[in-house]
Amino acid sequence: MITAVGTYVVSAWNFIFDHEVSPLRNIPDVATRHYAMQALGLMWAASFSIAIGSYTFFAASLLGHTVLIAAAAITVATFTAAAKKPSFFTRSSGGHADD
C-alpha cells in the first residue's frame, strides 16, 4: 500500500515537474520548455502568495466586520431600550436626569 502511494506521488511529481515526462516534452526546443516551466512556476508562486495573503487578510477583515456588527447591535439595543424603557437611563436616586 505504502509503496503504491509512493509510486503514485513520484509519478505525479515527475508528470508535473519533469520536462521530459510532462506534456511539455512535445515542445522541441529545450529552452522554450524551460521558459514554459519558469512561467508556470512563477504563476503558481504568485497564486499561492495571493491566496495565503487573502486568507491572512480574511482574519483581519472578519475581526473588523465583527466589531462593526457589534457596534450596530449595541446601538440598536440602546435605541430600543430608550424607546421602551427610558427610565433605565435615569439616575438611580429616583430623580430625573436633569436634576
Q: What is the pLDDT of residues 20-75, one digit of tens each?
A: 888 888 989 999 999 999 999 999 999 999 888 888 888 888 899 999 999 999 99
Prediction pTM value: 0.55
Q: Which of 79, 76, 98 is nearest to 90 (CA)?
A: 98
Asked whether residue 93 is assigned to any structural domain, the reply reads no
Structure confidence by residue, pLDDT tens digits, 3-12:
889 899 999 8
- Which residues span the domain enclosing 51? 2-88
Task: For residue 40, tell me if it sits in a domain.
Answer: yes
How long, in residues, is the chain? Answer: 99
**Within-domain flag for 36:** yes
3-class secondary structure per residue, 78-98: HHHHHHHCHHHHCCCCCCCCC
What total number of domains does the chain contain? 1
Residue 37 lies in a domain: yes
